[in-house]
Each structure stands twice: as C-alpha cells, then as structure tokens.
A and B are shown apart, each in its own frame.
Chain A
Amino acid sequence: MTARRGRRLRQVFSSGYLVYLYLPIVILPIFSFNDSFYISFPLQAFTTRWYEELASDPSIIAALASSLQIAAATALISTFFGVLTARALTRYRLRYQKSMLAAIMLPIVIPELILGVSLLVALNQVGLGLGKWAVVAGHTLICFPFAVAILLSRFEGFDLALEEASLDLGESPWQTFWRVVFPLALPGIVASVLLTFTISFDEFLIAFFLSASEPTLPVYLWGQLRFPKKLPSALALGSLIIVASFIVVTIAELMRRRRTGWGTK
C-alpha cells in the first residue's frame, strides 16, 4: 500500500516539476502574439505586429548573420576536435587517460564569466583583437566537452572487430576511417554538430565580452531588454529562437539515440 502511495506522490510531483520546467518556455510565445506593450494578463487582441517589427530591423539581421557564422564555425571545429578526442580515448589505452578526460571536461565547470574575462585579458596580452573569431575561440572551448561527451557514448558502442576486419581486408587506415568508422559514427557526429551549434547560438556571456562591435543575437537581445517599448519584439525574437532550438535539438536527440549507423544497414 505505502509503496503504491509513494509512487503516486512521485508521479504528481514529477508532473508539477515538468510544468515548472516548461512554464517559461511556453509563456514567451503566448505573449509574443499579445497586442500590448505590457506583458500581463488579461491577454489583449491577437497580433503579429511584433514579428513584423523584427523583420524590418536591419541590426537584427546583422546580429543573426554573425550568430549563424559563429555557431557554424564553432559546431564544425568543436565536433572535429571531439571526433579525434573521443576516438583517441576509446580506441587506444593511453596513460593518464582519466586525468586527460577531466581536463577536457573542465570548461563545463568553470563559470562562463571567468572564461570570458580571462580570454579578454589573454587576447589583449597577445595583441589579437576581439570580434567574431574571438567568440568562436571561446565558444569552441565550452562546446568541446559536450562534443566529446556525445561522441564518446557513440564510439564506446563500437565493435573494434569491424575496423580490424577492414584493415585485414587490405583497406588503408584512411579508407577504413571513411568507410567504416565515419558511417558508424555519423549519427553521433550529426548530433554533436547540432547541439554545439545550439549552445553557441544561444550563448550570451562570452559573446558579450568578446564580440566587440559585432554583436551576436543574444548580445543584441540583451541590449533590447533595457527598453520597455522593445520588450514585445524581444519576446517575438525569443520565441523564434526557442522554436528553432526545439526543432534542432529534437532532431539531434533522436539522432544520438539511433541504434544503428547509416550505411551499415
């Protein structure tokens, strides 16, 4: 009896928790269609004018363009590094493997603010300027551990025999990589690209310090939050970003959990 009551309690609690998790994400889109400068109940008439306002603002387009460029570069670089690292950690028995993995995961734990200001100081010391590439460097650093984690779980399920068979059959290591390893790892690689893209696209703090005169979308949005009149269009922009992230991440999550690789079946 008590066991069943415990389960019932946990079920009720968990449902409530999910509501709490989704509350802010649902609220933004609802009020982005509300015809009022004030974000409060009762809801006014339905409108799309905040979205129209967005489309007519050239600085948003510029910010979107730099965000897309930065996110694309970050996703490709961190995933490429992630593939090499995950393969090295699963395929070989290296010394200090655990400490190396810990070092790689460190950027997740260190506050982004600290990473941001230390990169700011470093780039200034070395004499490299700020801007898009500085942001890419910072974002690659924080995305890399995620890429490694995603790809590690993919590579760990690998049957090494497949690779050995290919080598035994006379394929070169290079051919083996492209014809055996890559297709098997592809779902993980796609998931990593999509997720690191999302992290970079959404990241605010590092971009805030390093983007200089080329604001990314979140940095631009941050500037808008100060003006009450701009809040509704900030809501519209935010809703679009949320919907886009949801689609990209759902694809990535489904990819990541695919059991078989492409080209093998």
Chain B
Amino acid sequence: MTTSPNRAGYLQLAPGLILVLAAMLVPLFLLLVASFWSIQPGGDIDTSFTLANYAKLTERPGYAQIILRSIGIAACVTLVTILLAYPLAYFVAFDVRKHKLILLILITLPFWTSYLLRVFAWKVILGWNGVINSGLTTAGLIEEPLAFLLYNPFSVVVTLSHAWATFAILPIYLSLEKIDRNLISAAADLGDGPVRSFFRVTLPLSMPGVMAAVFIIFIPTVGDYITPALIGGPDGLMVSNLIQAQFGKANNWPFGAAISVVSIVTVSVIALVTVAGLRRFAGSAR
C-alpha cells in the first residue's frame, strides 16, 4: 500500500507525534483520570472512582463564579486585543510600503521577551506608587494617585492585551495581506464607499486571521496564572489561581484536576462556537 518513500516520511513524523502524545495527550488523560479520585483526610490519594469533585464544583457557587469571571475576562481580553491589533495590522498590510520587514520584526520583538517580566513591568507601571501615578503627581497633574489602575480586572485586561498583541497582529496581518486588491477596487467601482467595502469585502476576507487570533488568545488567557496572581487583586482572581492552590497549599490534586477539566472543556466549547459564528460571517463575503 504505502510506497517506501512515504514510509520514510511517516518515520520522520513519528518522533514529533510521539512527543505530543507522551508529553501532552497521555498527561491530559491522566489528569482526567485523577479528577475522579479523592483525597483522604490524612492527605493520601484514594484512587477509587468518585464524582465528588465535580459535585463539589456544582454545589458551591463560588467556583462557578470564578470560572465564569475568568471566561468573562478572557473574552474581554480577546476582544480588546483584536480591536486594537486590527488597525495596526491593516496599517502594515495596506499603508506601509517601505521597511515593512523591519516594522514586522519590531512588532514581534516584545513578544519574545519574558512574559513574567512584562507582567512585572506593568505592575510597576500601574501601581499606587507606580510609574504612571508618580509621574502624573510629579508633573502636578494629579494630587492623589489613581487607585483604579492596579489590582482589578481593568489592569488584567491591559496587561494581557499587551501580552497577546503579537498573536493578534500577525495572523490578521497575514490574512489582510493575502486579500486580492482587485476585489477591493471592484467594490469601489461598483459604488461601495470605503466603509461599506470594508465591512462587505475586507473584514469578511480577513476573518481567518481573526479566527486564529480568537483561538490562540482566548483559550490560554482563561488559564493564565501570572497576570491575575501579580496584578489581579482579589477581584481579578482567576481559575488558574484556584487550580494552582489545589496543587500547592490546599494539596488536593484530584479537585485541582477536576477544576482543570471543567474549565478546559467549557472554554474549548465556547471557542469552537465563536469560531463557527465567525466562519459564517466570513462566508457572507462570497
């Protein structure tokens, strides 16, 4: 059946697939299994099957609230990131002629610097005695520091939109770049104004990039740990902090596993539904 050159291809593909299988799929499966275990009073793990962890999640509204809040914050971050990134991507794709490559590298560079450090920097910038507040005070523009800057969902959205910027700009730029310019001038010839042709041609055709951005930003953001832990404050607490606590201080791995499973499943379903919706919109261009 398979010819021998193709066999070489499968052989070369095997190590990578085995890596993903062994380091991701098997551990994820074990996480799922562990979510049906329980913890004994002494702290030992009881491996007999139980739904107690999931029951606990549904019984106490606090957990559902935190999961919902994480999803809300992640949705907000995704939306803000894409809305901010789109004009920049458009600018690079349609307006920039010279030095496009340098501009693209310039946009990519911040992404490669440590995420932890960037979050730390935002904490320093937005803090009570931070760069913005002390700067405005020194300049005589305000007398009291602005308290709304740090330790709330707003600061989380600012920081995460910054963290994910590149992941929105690049895919949107790539899909804008691919658009056949004749289509846009055709729309103009047929009497569409710039706004109308943008919503009827450019935007729908750039949807693949937007969909990629939604996928890459939304799912990891729900599980983000560093930002809520460092600058979220009590109202910015997210599900990852809850999960980490179960694997850390609370030392209840099975419950931590159950929270992980519930959040990843919920989030994946939401992401898939959103992308399906966007795909329909993209189809409207044809």
Contacts and interface: CB of A to CB of B under 8 A. Distances in A.
A114 B11 CA distance: 29
B138 to A, nearest CB: 5
A118 B13 contact: no
B13 A85 contact: yes
B113 A202 contact: yes
A138 interface: yes
A42 B138 contact: yes
A176 B30 CA distance: 43
A82 B16 contact: yes
Instruction: Output the residue of A28, A38, A106, A241 with the most chain B CB within 10 A.
Output: A28
Given A6-B194, A88-B10, A113-B243, A24 B105 contact: no
Contacts of A221: 116-117, 120
A253 B130 contact: no
Interface stretch (B21-29, B55-63, B202-210, B278-286): B21-29
- The SS class assigned to the B binding surface is helix
A227 interface: no
A18 B106 contact: yes
A112 B137 CA distance: 39
Contact of B223 (A6, A94, A111): A111
Interface in A128-151: 137-138, 140-141, 144, 148
Given A27-B121, A118-B30, A10 B90 contact: yes
A82 B13 CA distance: 9
A253 B12 contact: no
A22 B113 CA distance: 11
B interface, size bucket:
35 or more
B91 A10 contact: yes
- The SS class assigned to the A binding surface is helix
Nearest to B267: A111
Interface stretch (A54-62, A119-127, A182-190): A119-127
Interface in B1-54: 5-6, 8-13, 15-17, 19-20, 23-24, 26-28, 30-31, 34
Contact of B108 (A94, A106, A253): A253
B223 A108 contact: no
Contacts of B225: 112-113, 205
A104 B125 CA distance: 37
B125 A24 contact: yes
A209 B247 contact: yes
A115 B260 CA distance: 10
A120 B247 contact: yes
Nearest to B136: A41
Nearest to B106: A18
Nearest to A20: B162
20 contacts: A10-B95, A17-B88, A18-B107, A28-B124, A38-B129, A40-B129, A41-B137, A93-B6, A103-B20, A110-B219, A111-B223, A111-B240, A113-B240, A125-B30, A144-B16, A202-B115, A202-B116, A234-B120, A235-B124, A253-B105
Given A10-B91, A222-B116, 6 more contacts: A7-B91, A11-B91, A39-B129, A209-B247, A221-B120, A250-B105
Interface of A: 2-3, 6-7, 10-11, 13-14, 17-18, 20-25, 27-28, 31, 38-42, 81-82, 84-85, 87-89, 91-94, 100, 103-104, 106-115, 117-122, 125, 137-138, 140-141, 144, 148, 195, 198-199, 202, 204-205, 209, 218, 221-222, 225, 234-235, 238, 241-242, 245-246, 249-250, 253, 257
Which 4 residue pairs spanning A and B have beta carbons closest together?
A111-B223, A92-B9, A24-B121, A40-B134
